[in-house]
Chain A
Amino acid sequence: MIKRDIVIGVILLAIAAAVPFLWPERYVLLELTLFFIYATVVTQWNLVFGVAGVFSLAQMAIFAMGGYATGMLGLYLGWSLWAAMPVGAVAAVIFSVIIGVACLRLGGAYVALLTFAIAEAMYLLIITDTECFFMEGVTCRNFTGGTRGLVNFGNFGFQQLLGYKYAAFGNYFLALAILALATAFSVFVIRSPLGTAFAALRDNTTYAVARGIGRFKYQLLVFAASALFTGLAGAVYAGYFSVMGADTLNLTLLLLLLSMMVVGGLGRVWGPIAGAATLTLVNEGLNEFVDWRLLGLGLILILFIIFWPAGIVGAIEAAFAWLGPKRVAPQLRRSPGSSVPAATARRVQRKATVEAAPPEPVLRIEAILGEGPVWSEDEQALYWLDIFLPAVNRFDPAVGINKATPLDRPIYAMALRTRGGAIGAFEDGIGFVDIDGGTIEIFGDPKAGSPVNFNDGKCDRRGRFWTGTMAKDWSSPIGGLYRVEPSQRITQMDRGIILSNGLGWSPDDRTMYFTDFGRRVIYAYDFDPDIGAVSKRRPFIEIPQDAGFPDGMTVDAEGCLWVAHWDGWRVTRYGPDGKPRQTIRMPVKRPTSCTFGGPDLSVLYVTSARMGLTESELAAAPLSGSVFAIRTDTVGLGEPKFPA
């Protein structure tokens, strides 16, 4: 950064140094010398206002102090201006310290007000200075020179040194030297840690103050340091024109310099130079319309502050940034952690097959379509559905009693809620059902008129209810998978399913299983439990033609899938690799779904259906519709509840 600044600075300096030799016209030199003087002030004001964030309007008062002090030393003490200049600069610094101590502690707009007032007071004191301080012949001269200005204090003596022709050169290079030093100083400040500290102060005062960056101290430092060059500029002005007047405290001039700062770009290194150059040219141009100069300046200020607050330099920098390299987006992080309580995982035995007692009909009932078994651990009861009765059943195996709550419409899927009752999927959408009273309250229907019905559904371990749909004609691939969040937001997660059926999750929640009964396929997805996302659907288990259709399922603690085969007279256990490990024969043709229950989750309860069976088939399987229990020596993972 600073290298670039040095290069720019050297180039500009070289150009400026060459100019007098290329265009030695007096007028040009005069204008440029004045330009250098003003530009010096602007570079320092930029440090105070733009970098340190001090709203000072006393810059010209400090400038004037430098000039007046220098002139007075020359006039009253007869000093050479070369000697008076540094002292004048010091006077300016002292003056700024006084102002700073008085005003800076207040911050913000108060500083603007007070510094403005101080400059105004100085102006008033000078122009109302009418008392005679000393007599010059018959003329009465005031201490400060009053409205006529301070005169007769000498000059830098370039005329004697360089001759008449090149006197202007002397002033030119003196002013240029001061500007070069002032610019170097401001580059130094802006690029230094101090400059960075100020940027921090500007952008976030609370943070900076918390970090221990004392605002007052640093602002006072910059304020005083910038007064040095400002005072020098004032001294050069005095020596150059051989008169020092209160017109330097003129509001118009102050605003011109303010405009230079704003137009160039507040706080930017090269802003002051760019702004000073631009506005000097504009000012020249406005000389034609001297009556409208104020208006012109005012308009420029307003336009820039609204549209180009970063000034010319800011606009150039923005253009470069836009062309420059783009930032690289950070990588997505995967979250750690498994989802299954450690205790359960430890109970798991790693065997190929498990001991499984023959299925025992624990509830002899003639359910049309028994489905959706859910074990409630705190109630130690099995909830299950009779889809077309329609009813929600609650079976207590300890006492063998089943209580059915009739509903007013078919219920296709259900999960229990933490606050009691259940969430279910119905013909007309997803809703809550009060199991005691049987009332249903639908809150959303994502099917949007499509000729589908819900079929099977379950909660994942993070509390989301998942349910799928099936084409009413049992053959069109218009079904989908839906996710219901605790907030009741329903999102479609997959499509193109013919007939949704059983679902489940691996113990580590990284894989989700989802059945398409119509295609005889159980799919596996990559599952992200933290955000509830599924991806990379792939066929996991394919049921051969002679084995019926995959219906409901459950996953045990070892990660094996227990799948009921509709029209298959069986429940099959598949390994986490999708390969069948053991088959349990069922005494019914249409087992529909299963889940683990009992005191230690080792009993597999299986529901069944009598729907669509012929007389002879019913005769061969009279228990169709009953609920069965299979004791195993493995355990299930428990059914999560919907947390709302």
Chain B
Amino acid sequence: MLEIENVSAGYGNQRVLHGVSLSLGNGQLVAVLGPNGHGKTTLLRCISGIVRPTTGHIRLDDEEIDKLRIDEIVHRGIVHIPQGDLIFPQMSVLENLLMGAYLETDRATTKRRLEQVCELLPRLRERQNQIANTLSGGERRMLAIGRGLMIGGKTLLIDEPSLGLAPLVIDQIYQVLADLKAEGRAILLVEENASRVADVADVAYLLDDGRVVWQGLPQQMWDNAELIETYLGA
């Protein structure tokens, strides 16, 4: 279980998160929604170790992880699939995926994971040897997700998977998310586009100005006219 307790964080003099608390259990998908620039990405970065919280605690299965190095956190099974994909542009799709398995020393396991990932995302197998920076936007997103899955971690932090993609592709990605959830992974999903979230999320948090302003069941958001108007725009 991932627990975020009263976390505040920022960049330099700018504070972005103010006392955010949430928790995530296995086999769950928790969605973090809210306008852009209000702390959702920073929250994920605090968890994966890119940003250090200034106050508060982050615990994974009761172990405090907020002061660990990024690679130590990855070791503990937290996979951060960041906004913007961040693929390795001059490596092939296969090499990108293999980089995902960097921490895995057992070849058989790596091979097995590669098989699983390619089953989940067949397009990647098709384009194995293609150089990553020649892929289309949707393919890159798939590659970023596939690479993240190669890490084999149980807890996934996914930042805006549907950003800039065509609806059909978004469908595919959300199907993948549902499958991952069914496998028992814990998923923390950041989305600005709230409409798809109700399909897969168990719990939703709304972040505004770096604070949790609402927490509840995804369907409840849509029943709440004020909420929709104030935060969910569309």
Whether A and B touch (Cβ < 8 Å) is answered with yes
Which residues of A are at the interface with B, using a C-beta cutoff of 8 A? 332-333, 335-339, 341-342, 418, 461-463, 485-489, 529-532, 640, 643-644
B135 to chain A, nearest CB (A): 22
Is B25's beta carbon under 8 Å from chain A?
Answer: yes
How far is B213's CA from A333's CA once the two chains are assembled, in angstroms? Answer: 8
B150 to chain A, nearest CB (A): 26
Query: Is the Cβ of B28 less than 8 Å from the Cβ of A486?
Result: yes
A484 to chain B, nearest CB (A): 10
Of B22, B211, B230, which one neighbours A336 at CB under 8 angstroms?
A: B230
Is B192's beta carbon under 8 Å from chain A?
Answer: no
Hey, which chain B residues are within 8 Å of A488, CB to CB? Answer: 1, 23, 25
A-B contact pairs, 15 of them (CB 8 A): A335-B213, A339-B220, A462-B216, A462-B217, A463-B203, A463-B217, A486-B30, A486-B203, A487-B3, A487-B23, A487-B24, A487-B30, A530-B213, A532-B215, A643-B202
Residues of B in contact, count (CB < 8 Å): 30
Is B55's beta carbon under 8 Å from chain A?
Answer: no
Known: A462-B220, A463-B216, A487-B3. A333 touches B211 (CB 8 A): yes
Hey, which chain A residues are within 8 Å of B21, CB to CB? Answer: 531
Query: Is the Cβ of A487 less than 8 Å from the Cβ of B25?
Result: yes
Query: Is the Cβ of A337 less than 8 Å from the Cβ of B227?
Result: yes
Query: Is the Cβ of B1 less than 8 Å from the Cβ of A335?
Result: no
Of B203, B206, B216, B224, which one neighbours A644 at CB under 8 angstroms?
A: B203
How far is B194's CA from A347's CA once the two chains are assembled, in angstroms? Answer: 30
Hey, which chain A residues are within 8 Å of B213, CB to CB? Answer: 333, 335, 530
Hey, which chain B residues are within 8 Å of A336, CB to CB? Answer: 226-227, 230
Query: Is the Cβ of B25 less than 8 Å from the Cβ of A486?
Result: yes
Query: Is the Cβ of B25 less than 8 Å from the Cβ of A644?
Result: yes
Hey, which chain B residues are within 8 Å of A530, CB to CB? Answer: 206, 212-216
Query: Is the Cβ of A643 less than 8 Å from the Cβ of B230?
Result: no
Contacts A338-B224, A463-B217, A644-B27 aside, 16 further interface pairs with beta carbons under 8 A come to A337-B224, A462-B216, A462-B220, A485-B23, A486-B28, A486-B30, A487-B203, A529-B215, A529-B216, A530-B213, A531-B215, A640-B217, A643-B203, A644-B28, A644-B202, A644-B203
B26 to chain A, nearest CB (A): 8
Complex: chain B residue closest to A327, CB-CB = B13
Hey, which chain B residues are within 8 Å of A486, CB to CB? Answer: 23, 25, 28, 30, 202-203
Hey, which chain A residues are within 8 Å of B227, CB to CB? Answer: 336-337
How far is B22's CA from A461's CA once the two chains are assembled, in angstroms? Answer: 17
A240 to chain B, nearest CB (A): 45
Is B95's beta carbon under 8 Å from chain A?
Answer: no
Is B2's beta carbon under 8 Å from chain A?
Answer: yes
Q: Contact flags (1/0) for B13-54 with A, using CB distance below 8 Å?
A: 000000001111101101000000000000000000000000
How far is B215's CA from A332's CA once the two chains are assembled, in angstroms? Answer: 16
Known: A333-B209, A341-B223, A644-B28. A487 touches B216 (CB 8 A): no
Which residues of B are at the interface with A, using a C-beta cutoff of 8 A? 1-3, 21-25, 27-28, 30, 202-203, 206, 208-209, 211-217, 220, 223-227, 230
How far is B230's CA from A335's CA once the two chains are assembled, in angstroms? Answer: 10
Query: Is the Cβ of B226 less than 8 Å from the Cβ of A337?
Result: yes
Q: Which of B24, B212, B216, B223 has the most CB of A within 10 A?
A: B216
Complex: chain A residue closest to B25, CB-CB = A487
How far is B207's CA from A333's CA once the two chains are assembled, in angstroms? Answer: 12
B164 to chain A, nearest CB (A): 16
A628 to chain B, nearest CB (A): 31
B143 to chain A, nearest CB (A): 22
Complex: chain A residue closest to B201, CB-CB = A643
A199 to chain B, nearest CB (A): 13
Hey, which chain B residues are within 8 Å of A342, CB to CB? Answer: 223, 225
Complex: chain A residue closest to B28, CB-CB = A644
Query: Is the Cβ of B226 less than 8 Å from the Cβ of A489?
Result: no
Known: A332-B211, A337-B226, A643-B203. A461 touches B1 (CB 8 A): no
Complex: chain A residue closest to B218, CB-CB = A643
A485 to chain B, nearest CB (A): 5
Hey, which chain A residues are within 8 Å of B212, CB to CB? Answer: 530-531
A474 to chain B, nearest CB (A): 33
Complex: chain A residue closest to B214, CB-CB = A530
How far is B203's CA from A461's CA once the two chains are assembled, in angstroms? Answer: 12
A186 to chain B, nearest CB (A): 25
Q: Which of B21, B203, B215, B227 has the most CB of A within 10 A?
A: B215
B187 to chain A, nearest CB (A): 12
How far is B3's CA from A488's CA once the two chains are assembled, in angstroms? Answer: 10
Hey, which chain A residues are within 8 Å of B30, CB to CB? Answer: 486-487
Hey, which chain B residues are within 8 Å of A529, CB to CB? Answer: 215-216
Hey, which chain A residues are within 8 Å of B208, CB to CB? Answer: 333, 335
How far is B47's CA from A350's CA once the two chains are assembled, in angstroms? Answer: 49
B215 to chain A, nearest CB (A): 5
